[in-house]
């Protein structure tokens, strides 16, 4: 092995990897040097490699974190202390003496202590050394914990796409409250929502929910002023598509009016929230004020600001905050209102009968020009962006233009940033979906300015992150879903399943080597079953071939030689999936024509509902039988990503006869799936009555 390769592996880079088709790949030496340099580890010469190796060794000796499972002894990192007595301080503050062992029961990694029987984050001290120990339960809080003996379902919605009777330019958390109660009344026990992370409120052009400014705070544009008695007039920007350019300034004006008219009780509540949230909130609010100030001068990200403002703790920033205190106060108020509004939506969901309620969505990374990267750059990968390697769907690879946590920084900080991010996502939800959960194990990182195929996989501390991913949701009594789609590292799905992190099983991908679709009873129970995701064609759209329309309209690559061949292949898939639906007992009768999209949407929902999976999540587009999808990956302006609206208020849409029938059939399918699982135990079939809760159970002040 060369010195360059030894350095790369010490830095956590995977020189050899396997692509989505199972073909072995190797990162070139030239690409390795670029990635290492971007990570702050120059490798252009032997001397540089030696210095970078020394830098890594120093960082490794500064390890301040270790994790373990309840009931298992705790293996300490090499170099931590000596055999003998040490002091363990529990998270509660209680302190007890412990022994550090180094006898034959130990291993080569270092000393060990007896199992800790209290989950949480504890501190071990010996002499001048201290280390955090995270102790996790064996598994996550599960669907069975939330609703014993039941198979659940819930819709997935894009929050801004929702409508209510107020005629808003986009859906907010008030709209979400109404929608949650409406779905709960029809048997749903969960509601998966698009990411609600903080974006850039002063820049209407940055509306992608997957490129947030910060994942620790919320999108203030979704806050509902009606919660504090402030009216929200109908928007002048209502349409089939969201006009963000008009709707965002309009919404900001409404929020500023609510801020100006706030009463003493609101002032007191905001002050209490501000004191509890501390410095992180203060810095985020200052960032939003600065961003608005410099955006008006043509600067987009903080990298374009004057150099004095690059340091979040510098005097220029503190002077600005003091002289623009009212503006900073407004953004703090916006965060408080958003939090209260999202809390109200979760309360509306659970009060209306949902066992889980909202499932939040944790985006994989952040915009490098955003609040987190400005205030805490030492926690992030600053010289690279995150993406995906070349594969069948993207032969040139993907560069998402976002950044993420540095694995070295996570170890150095005791994983504080990751813990804080999870807590933010769980603060108002009964579940959390981890976008691109493959990033718990590795991320494809691309040096800034390079093409995606010049990247490499960077390894992350999977076991430590999985244990934290058990601790935090367990405390919140929330389920965890991990998006395990794409080029999945070997063994990752099994390790996630062992922790009862639900995987994602999507109808289109549940096929065998011959193309046959998997029968419902053979789907993985430890997963969330789905008809699709926001990045995939809707059920109706796939049946009609709307994705094929977009492929050829945009001149995108297709495995078919021409459009006619593409449509002929889809026709064959129609026959295949309908045959498999018939074999599963989902449908009867001949294959519907491509225009009969409702028939296929009915069948797709019933088929996924009948699976053995603990939870079924159905995009709202499929509940309604809509043709268009929310997002078309690989496009920016060519497709109206994140701009589509629902065709009417949620309650009215769910009252449509064809939609009611579709939901009733889905409820019955979920009951059937429950009965099949319980039949070996009691031989009984559950009563086949679709759950209908009182529609009047709408909760939460408006």
78 belongs to a structural domain: yes
Q: Kindly state whether residue 101 falls inside one of the protein's structural domains.
A: yes
- Alpha carbons within 13 angstroms on the beta-carbon side of residue 689 total 4
Q: Can you state the angle between helices 279-295 and 315-323, rounded to 10 degrees?
A: 80
The distance of Cα 530 from the centroid of its chain, to the nearest Å, equals 16
Q: What is the CATH number of the domain that holds 99?
A: 2.60.40
Q: Return d(Cα 382, Cα 368) in angstroms, integer.
A: 8
pLDDT computed for residue 59 by the predictor: 79
| Cα–Cα distance measured from residue 215 to residue 366, given in angstroms and rounded to the nearest whole number | 7
Residues with Cβ within 8 Å of residue 45, at least 6 apart in sequence: none
d(CA 22, CA 26): 13
- Tokens found for residue 273: 């929230």
CA–CA gap between residue 111 and residue 499 (Å, rounded): 26
Q: What is the DSSP string of 583-608?
A: HTTS--SSPPPTT-HHHHHHHHHHHH
SS3 label, residue 617? strand
Strand, coil or helix: 146: helix
Residue 692 has pLDDT above 70, yes or no: no
Are residue 132 and residue 75 in the same domain, yes or no?
yes
Please tell me the chain's helix, strand, coil percentages from 3-state DSSP, rounded to the nearest 5.
40, 15, 40
Name the β-bridge partners of 67: 134
Give mean pLDDT, residues 565-577. Answer: 96
Give start and end residues of each alpha helix (H) in 625-656. Answer: 650-654
Question: Is residue 4 over pLDDT 50?
Answer: yes
Chain mean pLDDT for the chain: 93
How much is the average pLDDT of 25-47? 95
Mean pLDDT of 373-395: 88
How many C-beta atoms lie closer than 10 Å to residue 563's C-beta?
15
- In the chain, what percentage of residues exceed pLDDT 70? 95
Least confident residue range of 128-132, 167-171, 484-488: 484-488
Among 80, 107, 136, which residue terminates a domain?
136
Q: Residue 128: CA atoms inside 13 Å, Cβ hemisphere, count?
A: 1
444 closest CA partner among 38, 1, 6: 38
Which of 671, 525, 605 shows the shortest CA–CA distance to 150? 671
What lies within 8 Å, CB to CB, of 23 at 6+ separation is: none
Tens digits of per-residue pLDDT, 450-504? Answer: 999 899 999 999 999 999 999 999 999 999 999 998 888 989 999 999 999 999 9
Residue 15 lies in a domain: yes
Residue 120 lies in a domain: yes
- In the block, tokens 């009047």 appear at 696
- The secondary element (H helix, E strand) that includes residue 678 is helix 657-682
Domain range for residue 96? Answer: 71-136
pLDDT of 687 above 60: no
Q: What values do phi and psi take at 402, rounded to 5?
A: -120, 165
Do 15 and 52 fall into the same domain? yes
Structure-derived torsion over alpha carbons of residues 425, 493, 140, 524, reported in degrees to the nearest 10: 110
DSSP class per residue in 206-266:
---TTS-SEEEEE-GGG--GGGGT---PPPS--SSB--HHHHHHHHHHHHHHHHHT--HHH
Q: Is residue 80 part of a domain?
A: yes
Please name the helix (run of DSSP H) or strand (run of DSSP E) that holds residue 147, with its range, or none: none
pTM for this structure?
Answer: 0.95
Q: Is the residue at 279 inside a domain? A: no
Q: Which residues sit opposite 157 in a β-bridge? A: 193
Among candidates 674, 678, 607, which has minimal Cα distance to 151?
A: 674
**Which pLDDT belongs to residue 694?**
52
| Mean per-residue pLDDT, 78-87 | 90
pLDDT band at 81 (very low <50, low <70, confident <90, very high): confident
Q: What are phi and psi of 388, to 5 degrees?
A: -145, 150
**Each residue's pLDDT tens digit, 226-280:** 999 998 989 988 989 999 999 999 999 999 999 999 999 999 999 999 999 999 9
Please state, in angstroms and as integers, the Cα–Cα distance from residue 117 to each residue in 70, 144, 477, following that order.
6, 24, 19
Domain boundary at 85, 106, 136, which? Answer: 136
**How would you write 366-416 as a 3-class SS string?**
ECCCCHHHHHCHHHECCCEEEEECCCCCCCCCEEEEEECECHHHHHHCCCH
If asked whether residues 49 and 97 sit together in one domain, one would say no
Tell which of 109, 136, 163 closes a domain: 136
Tokens of residue 312, six digits: 């979040």
298 vs 695 pLDDT, higher one: 298
Show the tokens assigned to 478: 């929330």
* Closest listed residue to residue 181, CA positions, set 651, 619, 624: 651
Range from 291-300, 395-404, 503-512, 690-699 carrying the lowest mean pLDDT: 690-699
Q: Which residues pair with 459 in a beta bridge?
A: 442
pLDDT above 90 for 21: no
In 3D, which of 3, 220, 149, 82 has the Cα closest to residue 678? 149
What percent of the chain lies above the pLDDT cut of 90?
85
Q: How many domains does the chain have?
A: 2
Q: Clarify whether residues 79 and 131 are in a common domain.
A: yes
* Model pLDDT, residue 695: 44
Q: What is the mean pLDDT of the segment spanning 443-452?
A: 93
578-637 pLDDT tens trace = 999 999 999 999 999 999 999 999 999 999 999 999 999 999 999 999 999 999 988 889
Same domain, 131 and 75: yes
Report residue 155 CA to chain centroid gap: 16
C-beta separation of 115 from 76 below 8 A: no
CA distance 573 to 604: 14
Same domain membership, residue 99 and residue 55: no
Beta strands per DSSP E along 334-440:
357-362, 384-388, 398-402, 431-434
With beta carbons less than 8 A apart as the criterion, state whether 524 and 505 touch: yes
First to last CA, the chain: 65
β-strand pairing of 384-388 with 398-402: antiparallel
**Considering the domain boundaries, does residue 16 fall inside one?**
yes
Cα–Cα distance between 448 and 368 in angstroms, integer? 11
Q: Does residue 505 form part of some domain?
A: no
DSSP conformational letter for 95: E
């Amino acid at each position: 092995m060369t010195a360059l390769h030894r350095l790369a592996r010490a830095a956590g880079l995977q020189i050899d990897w396997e692509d989505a088709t199972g073909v072995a790949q190797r990162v070139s030496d030239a690409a390795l040097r670029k990635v290492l340099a971007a990570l702050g580890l120059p490798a252009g010469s032997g001397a540089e490699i030696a210095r970078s190796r020394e830098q890594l060794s120093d960082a490794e000796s500064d390890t301040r974190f270790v994790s373990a499972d309840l009931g298992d002894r705790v293996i300490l990192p090499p170099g931590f202390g000596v055999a003998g007595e040490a002091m363990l301080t529990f998270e509660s503050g209680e302190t007890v003496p412990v022994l550090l062992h180094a006898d034959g029961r130990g291993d080569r990694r270092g000393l060990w202590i007896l199992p800790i029987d209290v989950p949480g984050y504890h501190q071990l001290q010996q002499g001048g050394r201290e280390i955090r120990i995270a102790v996790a339960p064996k598994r996550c809080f599960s669907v069975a914990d939330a609703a014993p003996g039941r198979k659940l379902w819930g819709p997935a919605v894009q929050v801004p796409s929702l409508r209510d009777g107020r005629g808003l330019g986009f859906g907010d958390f008030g709209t979400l409250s109404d929608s949650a109660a409406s779905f709960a009344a029809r048997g749903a026990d969960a509601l998966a929502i698009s990411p609600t992370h903080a974006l850039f409120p002063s820049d209407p052009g940055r509306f992608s929910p997957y490129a947030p400014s910060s994942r620790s705070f919320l999108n203030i544009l979704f806050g509902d002023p009606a919660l504090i008695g402030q009216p929200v007039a109908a928007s002048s920007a209502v349409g089939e598509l969201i006009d963000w350019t008009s709707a965002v300034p309009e919404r900001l004006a409404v929020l500023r009016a609510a801020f100006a008219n706030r009463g003493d009780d609101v002032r007191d509540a905001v002050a209490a929230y501000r004191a509890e949230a501390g410095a992180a909130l203060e810095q985020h609010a200052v960032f939003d004020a600065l961003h608005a100030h410099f955006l008006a001068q043509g600067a987009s990200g903080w990298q374009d600001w004057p150099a004095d403002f690059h340091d979040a703790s510098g005097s220029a920033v503190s002077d600005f905050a003091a002289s623009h205190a009212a503006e900073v106060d407004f953004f703090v108020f916006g965060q408080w209102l958003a939090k209260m509004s999202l809390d109200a939506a979760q309360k509306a969901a659970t009060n209306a009968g949902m066992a889980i309620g909202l499932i939040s969505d944790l985006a994989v990374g952040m915009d490098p020009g955003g609040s987190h990267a400005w205030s805490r750059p030492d926690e992030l990968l600053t010289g690279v962006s995150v993406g995906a390697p070349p594969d069948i769907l993207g032969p040139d690879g993907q560069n998402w233009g976002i950044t993420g946590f540095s694995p070295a920084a996570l170890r150095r900080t005791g994983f504080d940033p990751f813990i804080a991010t999870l807590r933010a996502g769980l603060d108002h939800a009964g579940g959390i979906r981890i976008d691109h959960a493959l990033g718990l194990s590795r991320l494809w990182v691309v040096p800034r300015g390079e093409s995606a195929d010049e990247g490499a996989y960077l390894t992350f501390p999977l076991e430590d992150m999985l244990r934290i991913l058990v601790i935090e949701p367990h405390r919140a009594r929330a389920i965890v879903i991990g998006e395990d789609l794409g080029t999945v590292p070997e063994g990752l799905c099994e390790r996630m399943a062992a922790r009862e992190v639900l995987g994602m099983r999507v109808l289109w991908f549940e096929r065998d080597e011959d193309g046959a679709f998997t029968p419902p009873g053979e789907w993985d129970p430890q997963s969330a079953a789905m008809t699709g995701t926001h990045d995939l064609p809707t059920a109706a759209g796939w049946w009609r071939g709307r994705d094929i329309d977009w492929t050829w309209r945009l001149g995108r690559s297709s495995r078919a030689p021409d459009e006619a061949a593409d449509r002929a292949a889809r026709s064959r898939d129609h026959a295949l999936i309908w045959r498999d639906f018939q074999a599963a007992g989902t449908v009867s009768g001949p294959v519907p024509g491509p225009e009969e999209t409702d028939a296929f949407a009915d069948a797709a929902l019933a088929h996924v509902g009948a699976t053995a999976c603990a939870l079924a999540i159905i995009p709202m587009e499929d509940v309604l039988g809509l043709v268009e999808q929310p997002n078309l990956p690989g496009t920016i302006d060519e497709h109206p990503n994140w701009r589509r609206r629902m065709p009417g208020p949620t309650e009215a849409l769910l009252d449509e006869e064809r939609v009611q029938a579709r939901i009733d059939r889905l409820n019955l399918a979920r009951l059937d799936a429950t009965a099949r699982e319980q039949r070996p135990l009691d031989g009984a079939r559950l009563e086949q009555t679709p759950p209908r809760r009182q529609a009047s159970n709408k909760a939460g002040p408006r």
